[in-house]
């Protein structure tokens, strides 16, 4: 049996067994089955990846089953394994396995654990189907499958109204993107008469320069197809305009945020653009759009990240921003750099989220950083893990010596944007540089607010509840003056700490270990044509001026310095600054008012229109002048006839019969 | 094919059982009805197994001249086969779902069995008048089911149902008589090859349209459907949504398209406009409903619009997609009405706000309801996706505008279905009586389980359902080729740009 079949279908099997077995099997059995399946999948994935890194593997496609065959539109269930897939396989299975393990501890007190683990495994299966897709429709299957799992997991605590609302929002906003994706698939089929990805990629260059009609206008064929598909990617990867679901998705349990809304699902859009990069290459306009959207998002999300108080929301906006970096890379023709950042980001962002989960666990579900402080001494292992993650995301490193994971991948993106020598590329570069400063600021702000300074827990309702519950009926000194309210945070259990340790290892070494394969000259031997990553651009990346190489380092230090000044040296400063720029802060703090805007122009009008169409259209117009009107007319005209009938049923049957007899006799006479 | 007149047998079994039901006790009537529908389902499976995929277009033909050219002519192609399978599959489930009926059980069962006879008859009839009789007579048992066993406002609903459907059927009958005169035959396969003058086609098309549009139902003649569904007992809704609505689509694919290809092309934009309006308007209406059944009824109108759009896209993907949407919608909306019925039986209200938090006390129900919700939304891997995807890809080849508007249905559909699911299944248990409801019983599992399996089967391996109809669709596509509308895509090749191509080649290798 092909290992890829086990990798993909074991999680599905585990999800089915766990989901249907549920309480009959019990917590431990379901947890063991799902987690075991994921560790096996992970164990089988790494050798595949290593063989591609070593350069002695061939891309292959494993057929599973016919799916649809309708005229010339045919597509099958098939699993494609090439370099691009291999990268995603290790990312998905590794983070998923670790998140499964972590959830043993994090979800230990939840009454619904089997359901949670089944959903996690189901998600992993769908994600694996997405990354192994050989045709656009199977990619769409995985795409929607992860959407379903995301919906179920965001709404996992379904009793909370905010959780189920966030779940719907995630699904529906993603569907807006899917509208683009679906139209893109239809258009691709119309143009190429196939939905097979390899065939499309081979034939795409031949279509360059052709035009096609869409919504009444003539477009450059490849431009419109790529833009439609990219709209799908924007939805899934939460890019500007379709990003509103991601922060709300933090309603889900934190392990979910780490797996789905940081490391894997949200990167599906980036994966799609990279997978189709030879197609996007044929349209400079579409590439420009990808870069511009990525650049706008990375800046926009980073600004919001600097103002939020909820620890998970800060990381969520950070994710949104980092995804923007990946799109910039893909848009300037460096999908290798995009995938590299995707790869390293998976480790350090999952680490940050799981670390945040560990903090939340220790702080009795308090998520507001205003009520943290001084946690360094209480949960030192979590502190160190979060620090590793922060060093990685801010891109700490010395050129030519050593750097944390993000140092290699983020700098590669900035160099690629600069080295592309296009105006849109320069836009991406400057936005990226600016956002790198913001990234450094909000990341260190998070660390300083959480782990440094004095405890500020006594203001937290969650902590007060915890203290109250613990000491109920006992004699104690709850009103201590040290800001702790008498609460003692505990370090997380070992099954939560192991994933943190493994991911910390990845956050430290993933960059230096693999940068040679992903983004160096000669990386063509690694990619084997699975992405369109020109040697020329790689060359340009390495030729950028020295100041470009050092600029990220400089802005990183600047961001760190500002955060240090504002949250350690002079803690009164941020409040003063906010007061000084009140309107700007309000705008940014309220997330640029996107939610309010969408509510006004989409949500409320939809309900208003529905109501009007129903009460005025269906009832007021159609029914009034249709059936009710004619009933009235008939009644006026035939009061006598109506009286003759004993009941409505019989009159109908009689009319039917008479009508039929009359009709048939009429035919016979002719 | 075979000596056994299997189609007549499938009509005879429920007919006899129906008569028996009228005279025996309630409990016996239930058993008889269940047995008869199961036998018919078994016969259906035999039919499916024996159907020669890729063989003759018309199989299992039976023909007995009766009088004056009027003949008992039965026979099926792949299209009819799949719809017959749908009917006989849903019938035993409907009988199981009728456990809560206590009034005049014998007559109720008889009405359902008669319904089954007429449904199979519609799909199997090969004589124009025979078809008409089955088609229109199908109204009678449905009318009775709503009028006698329905809810509080059953009289108004059944009356509206009757008024709408009768209206269309009269003009259709006149058209049929004219066609028989003109072509000199009432044999449907012959008529499908007959070329009527284009001007006559247009009138005939409109006459048939009047009937099929109501049955479908298309906007704006859809308002009978929400009322009929709301008032009908659960099993009535299942059959109404599951099979009766498919008769309109079947009519288009069997009559309008092959018999009047030019007229169909001529009026395609009428269909497109009505369907586009239906997708947007009825989806929005579904969003604001407080009554579960009404919501699902409105969603049916939106889904049926995808069927009509696909049918009139004049290509294989559109036609096959429409057929799959019909089959899928038959299963899924049937299942959704059963899901409503399950909780209606416990709480006796369809008011959405009276429920909430059912995931807590009815987790198994929540799981199945989620599956059918997702199938309704068209999640890939379920039957809903395959049909919707093919239909929409079919229409995209004709008009990107129509495709764009129709595809917004995937957003709106997700919104109203998930909003429904949230209000019923998620949240806190705010009503004590709803919180006390027990989870699915064995009988309810037997109803919903098989549909769930069929929905997944059709989603993962639709080939089983596409294969029998492939040749029939291809034949229809060939017949429609002469009237094919022009695509708005207008793909124009530009001058190749060699330097960019070489640059790409360098990048890829």
Whether residues B159 and A533 touch (CB distance < 8 A) is answered with no
Question: What does DSSP assign to residue A601?
Answer: I
A190/B contact by beta carbon, under 8 A: yes
State the pLDDT at residue A663.
Answer: 57
Mean pLDDT of the A499-518 span: 91
Residue of B nearest to A654 (CA): B140
Considering only residues A490 and A637, tell me which one the structure prediction assigns the higher pLDDT. Answer: A490
Task: Answer yes or no: are the C-beta atoms of A136 and A185 closer than 8 Å.
Answer: yes
State the pLDDT at residue B90.
Answer: 94
Is the confidence at residue A646, as pLDDT, over 80? no
Residue of B nearest to A537 (CA): B507
Task: Answer yes or no: are the C-beta atoms of A126 and A142 closer than 8 Å.
Answer: yes
Q: How distant is the Cα of A222 from the closest Cα of chain B, in angstroms?
A: 11
Whether residues B496 and A19 touch (CB distance < 8 A) is answered with no
Q: Give tens-digit pLDDT for A453-475.
A: 888 888 888 888 877 776 554 44
- CA nearest B49: which of B115, B11, B4? B4
Whether residues A652 and B359 touch (CB distance < 8 A) is answered with no
Is the confidence at residue A633, as pLDDT, over 70? no
State the pLDDT at residue A645.
Answer: 47
A603/B contact by beta carbon, under 8 A: no
State the pLDDT at residue B507.
Answer: 36
Low-confidence ranges of chain B (pLDDT < 70): 1-3, 68-69, 495-509
Cβ contacts of A603-610, under 8 Å, gap ≥ 24: A606/B284, A606/B287, A606/B412, A606/B415, A607/B287, A607/B288, A609/B284, A610/B284, A610/B285, A610/B286, A610/B287, A610/B288
Whether residues B281 and A151 touch (CB distance < 8 A) is answered with no
Task: Report the distance separating Cα A615 and Cα A611, nearest Å.
Answer: 6
Is the confidence at residue A640, as pLDDT, over 80? no
State the pLDDT at residue B68.
Answer: 65
Q: Give tens-digit pLDDT for A535-576.
A: 888 888 888 898 998 999 999 999 999 999 999 888 888 888
Helix (H) or strand (E) holding A309: none
State the pLDDT at residue A480.
Answer: 58
Task: Report the distance separating Cα B33 and Cα A194, nearest Å.
Answer: 48
Residue of A nearest to B317 (CA): A70
Task: Report the distance separating Cα B425 and Cα B436, nearest Å.
Answer: 14
The helix-helix angle for A3-25 and A83-106 (nearest 10°) equals 20
Task: Report the distance separating Cα B113 and Cα B136, nearest Å.
Answer: 16
Whether residues A212 and B180 touch (CB distance < 8 A) is answered with no
State the pLDDT at residue A660.
Answer: 60
Task: Report the distance separating Cα A290 and Cα A332, nearest Å.
Answer: 8
Q: Give tens-digit pLDDT for B334-365.
A: 999 999 999 998 988 888 888 988 988 999 99
- CA nearest A303: which of A323, A290, A326, A320? A320
The helix-helix angle for A197-207 and B498-508 (nearest 10°) equals 150
Q: How distant is the Cα of A206 from the closest Cα of chain B, in angstroms?
A: 7
Give the SS3 label for residue A219.
strand
Cα–Cα separations (whole angstroms), residue A59 to A85, A194, A526, A527, B169:
9, 21, 11, 10, 60
Q: How distant is the Cα of A529 from the closest Cα of chain B, in angstroms?
A: 5
B403/A contact by beta carbon, under 8 A: yes
My answer on whether omega of the bond before B220 falls inside 30° of 0, hence cis, is yes
Is the confidence at residue A222, as pLDDT, over 80? yes
β-bridge mates for residue A65, sequence order: A77
Q: Give tens-digit pLDDT for B82-130.
A: 999 999 999 999 999 988 888 888 889 999 999 999 999 999 999 988 9
Whether residues A652 and B288 touch (CB distance < 8 A) is answered with no
Residue matched to tokens 């906010």: A578
Mean pLDDT of the A239-248 span: 91
CB pairs under 8 A between A and B: 254
B284/A contact by beta carbon, under 8 A: yes
Residue of A nearest to B382 (CA): A141
Contacts of residue A582, Cβ cutoff 8 Å, sequence gap at least 6: none
The DSSP bridge pattern shows strands A397-398 and A402-403 to be antiparallel
* Residues 317 through 356 of chain B touching chain A, CB cutoff 8 Å: 317, 320-321
State the pLDDT at residue B501.
Answer: 40
Give exposure, B5-26, as e/b (b: 16+ Cβ within 10 Å): ebbeebbebbbebbebbeeeeb
Mean pLDDT over each residue of chain B, to the nearest integer: 88
Dig out the tokens for A513 from the structure.
């270990």
Q: Give tens-digit pLDDT for A202-213.
A: 999 888 888 898
Mean pLDDT over each residue of chain A, to the nearest integer: 88
pLDDT band at residue A488, thresholds of 50, 70 and 90?
confident
User: Mutate which of A68, A122, A251, A529 to test chain B, going by most B C-beta atoms within 10 A?
Assistant: A68
State the pLDDT at residue A542.
Answer: 86
Whether residues B427 and A278 touch (CB distance < 8 A) is answered with no
- CA nearest A38: which of A18, A8, A3, A1? A8
State the pLDDT at residue B506.
Answer: 36
Task: Answer yes or no: are the C-beta atoms of B74 and B7 closer than 8 Å.
Answer: yes
A209/B contact by beta carbon, under 8 A: yes
Q: Give tens-digit pLDDT for A2-54.
A: 889 999 999 999 999 999 988 888 899 999 999 999 999 999 999 999 999 88
Q: Point out the residue among A206, A210, A214 whose CB comes nearest to the CB of B400.
A: A214
Task: Answer yes or no: are the C-beta atoms of B105 and B26 closer than 8 Å.
Answer: yes
Whether residues A606 and B428 touch (CB distance < 8 A) is answered with no
State the pLDDT at residue A524.
Answer: 83
Dig out the tokens for B14 from the structure.
């429920």
Whether residues A172 and B415 touch (CB distance < 8 A) is answered with yes
């Amino acid at each position: 049996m092909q290992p890829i079949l086990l990798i993909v279908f074991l999680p599905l099997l585990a999800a089915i067994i766990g989901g249907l077995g549920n309480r009959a099997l019990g917590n431990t059995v379901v947890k063991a089955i799902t987690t075991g399946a994921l560790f096996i999948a992970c164990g089988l994935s790494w050798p595949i990846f290593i063989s591609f890194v070593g350069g002695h593997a061939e891309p292959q496609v494993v057929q599973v089953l016919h799916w649809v065959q309708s005229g010339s539109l045919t597509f099958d269930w098939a699993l494609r394994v090439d370099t691009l897939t291999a990268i995603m396989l290790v990312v998905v299975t590794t983070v998923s396995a670790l998140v499964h393990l972590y959830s043993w501890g994090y979800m230990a007190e939840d009454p619904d654990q089997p359901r949670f683990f089944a959903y996690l495994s189901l998600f992993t299966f769908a994600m694996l189907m997405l990354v192994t897709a050989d045709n656009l429709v199977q990619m769409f299957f995985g795409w929607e499958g992860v959407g379903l799992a995301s919906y179920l997991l965001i709404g996992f605590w379904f009793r909370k109204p905010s959780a189920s609302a966030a779940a719907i929002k995630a699904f529906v906003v993603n569907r807006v993107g899917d509208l683009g994706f679906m139209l893109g698939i239809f258009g691709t089929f119309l143009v190429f008469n196939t939905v097979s990805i390899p065939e499309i990629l081979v034939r795409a260059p031949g279509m360059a320069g052709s035009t096609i009609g869409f919504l009444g206008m003539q477009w450059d064929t490849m431009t419109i197809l790529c833009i439609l598909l990219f709209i799908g990617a924007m939805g899934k990867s939460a890019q500007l305009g379709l990003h509103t679901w991601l922060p709300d998705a933090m309603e889900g349990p934190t392990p979910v945020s780490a797996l789905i809304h940081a490391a894997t699902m949200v990167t599906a859009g980036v994966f799609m653009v990279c997978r189709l990069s030879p197609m996007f290459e044929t349209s400079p306009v579409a590439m420009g759009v990808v870069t511009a959207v990525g650049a706008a998002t990375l800046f926009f999300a980073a600004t919001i990240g600097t103002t939020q108080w909820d620890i998970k929301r800060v990381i969520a906006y950070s994710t949104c921003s980092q995804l923007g970096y990946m799109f910039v890379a893909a848009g300037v023709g460096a999908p290798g750099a995009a995938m590299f950042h995707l790869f390293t980001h998976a480790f350090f962002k999952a680490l940050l989220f799981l670390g945040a989960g560990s903090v939340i666990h220790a702080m009795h579900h308090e998520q507001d950083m205003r009520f943290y402080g001084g946690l360094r001494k209480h949960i030192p292992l979590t502190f160190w893990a979060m620090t590793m993650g922060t060093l990685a995301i801010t891109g700490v490193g010395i050129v030519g010596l050593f750097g944390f994971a993000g140092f290699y991948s983020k700098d590669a993106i900035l160099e690629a944007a600069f080295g592309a020598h296009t105006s849109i590329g320069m836009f991406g570069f400057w936005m990226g540089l600016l956002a790198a400063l913001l990234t450094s600021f909000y990341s260190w702000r998070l660390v300083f607010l959480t782990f440094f300074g004095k405890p500020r827990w006594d203001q937290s309702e969650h902590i007060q509840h915890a203290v109250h519950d613990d000491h109920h009926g006992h004699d104690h000194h709850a009103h201590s003056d040290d800001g702790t309210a008498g609460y003692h945070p505990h370090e997380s259990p070992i099954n939560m700490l192991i994933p943190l340790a493994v991911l910390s290892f990845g956050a430290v070494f993933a960059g230096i270990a693999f940068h040679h394969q992903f983004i160096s000259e000669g990386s063509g031997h690694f990619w084997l044509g699975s992405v369109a990553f020109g040697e020329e651009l790689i060359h340009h990346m390495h030729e950028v001026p020295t100041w470009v190489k050092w600029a990220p380092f400089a802005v990183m230090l600047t961001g760190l310095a500002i955060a240090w000044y504002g949250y350690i040296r002079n803690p009164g400063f941020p409040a003063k600054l906010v007061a000084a720029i009140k309107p700007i802060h309000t705008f940014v703090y309220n997330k640029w008012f996107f939610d309010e805007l969408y509510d006004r122009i989409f949500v409320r009008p939809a309900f208003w229109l529905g109501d009007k169409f129903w009460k005025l259209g269906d009832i007021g117009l159609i029914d009034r002048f249709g059936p009710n009107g004619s009933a009235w007319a008939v009644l006026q005209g035939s009061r006598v006839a109506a009286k003759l009938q004993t009941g409505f049923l019989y009159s109908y049957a009689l009319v039917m019969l008479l009508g039929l007899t009359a009709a048939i006799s009429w035919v016979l006479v002719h | 094919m075979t000596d056994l007149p299997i189609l007549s047998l499938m009509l005879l079994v429920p007919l006899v059982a129906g008569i028996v039901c009228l005279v025996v006790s309630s409990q016996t009537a239930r058993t008889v009805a269940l047995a008869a529908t199961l036998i018919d389902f078994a016969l259906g499976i035999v039919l499916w197994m024996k159907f020669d995929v890729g063989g003759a277009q018309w199989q299992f033909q039976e023909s007995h001249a009766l009088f004056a050219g009027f003949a008992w002519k039965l026979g099926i192609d792949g299209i009819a086969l799949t719809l017959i399978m749908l009917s006989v599959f849903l019938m035993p489930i409907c009988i199981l779902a009728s456990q809560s009926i206590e009034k005049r059980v014998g007559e109720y069962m008889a009405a359902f069995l008669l319904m089954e006879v007429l449904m199979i008859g519609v799909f199997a009839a090969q004589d124009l008048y025979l078809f008409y009789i089955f088609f229109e007579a199908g109204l009678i048992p449905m009318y009775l089911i709503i009028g006698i066993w329905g809810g509080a406002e059953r009289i108004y609903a059944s009356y509206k149902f009757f008024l709408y459907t009768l209206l269309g059927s009269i003009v259709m009958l006149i058209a049929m008589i004219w066609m028989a005169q003109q072509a000199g035959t009432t044999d449907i396969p012959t008529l499908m090859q007959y070329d009527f003058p284009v001007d006559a086609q247009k009138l005939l098309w409109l006459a048939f349209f009047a009937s099929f549009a109501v049955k479908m139902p298309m906007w704006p003649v859809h308002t009978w459907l929400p009322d009929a569904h709301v008032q009908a007992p659960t099993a009535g809704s299942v059959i109404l949504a599951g099979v009766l609505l498919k008769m309109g689509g079947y009519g288009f694919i069997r009559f309008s398209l092959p018999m009047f290809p030019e007229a169909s092309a001529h009026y395609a934009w009428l269909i497109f406009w009505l369907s586009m309006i239906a997708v947007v308007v009825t989806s929005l209406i579904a969003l604001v409903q407080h009554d579960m059944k009404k919501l699902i009824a409105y969603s049916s109108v939106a889904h049926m619009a995808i069927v009509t759009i696909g049918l009139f896209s004049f290509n294989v993907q559109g036609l096959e997609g429409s057929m799959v949407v019909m089959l899928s919608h038959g299963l899924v909306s049937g299942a959704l009405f059963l899901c409503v019925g399950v909780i209606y039986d416990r709480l006796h209200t369809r008011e959405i706000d009276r429920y909430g938090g059912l995931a807590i006390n009815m987790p198994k129900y929540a799981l199945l309801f989620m599956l059918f919700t997702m199938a309704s939304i068209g999640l890939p891997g379920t039957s809903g996706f395959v049909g919707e995807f093919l239909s929409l890809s079919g229409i995209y080849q004709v008009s990107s505008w129509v495709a764009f508007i129709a595809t917004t249905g995937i957003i709106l559909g997700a919104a109203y279905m998930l909003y429904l699911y949230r209000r019923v299944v998620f949240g806190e248990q705010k009503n004590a009586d709803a919180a006390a409801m027990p989870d699915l019983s064995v009988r309810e599992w037997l109803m919903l389980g098989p549909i769930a399996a069929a929905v997944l089967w059709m989603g993962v391996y639709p080939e089983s359902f596409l294969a029998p109809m492939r040749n029939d669709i291809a034949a229809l596509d060939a017949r429609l080729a002469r009237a094919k509308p022009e695509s708005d895509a207008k793909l124009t090749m530009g001058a190749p740009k060699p330097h960019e191509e070489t640059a790409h080649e360098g990048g890829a290798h």
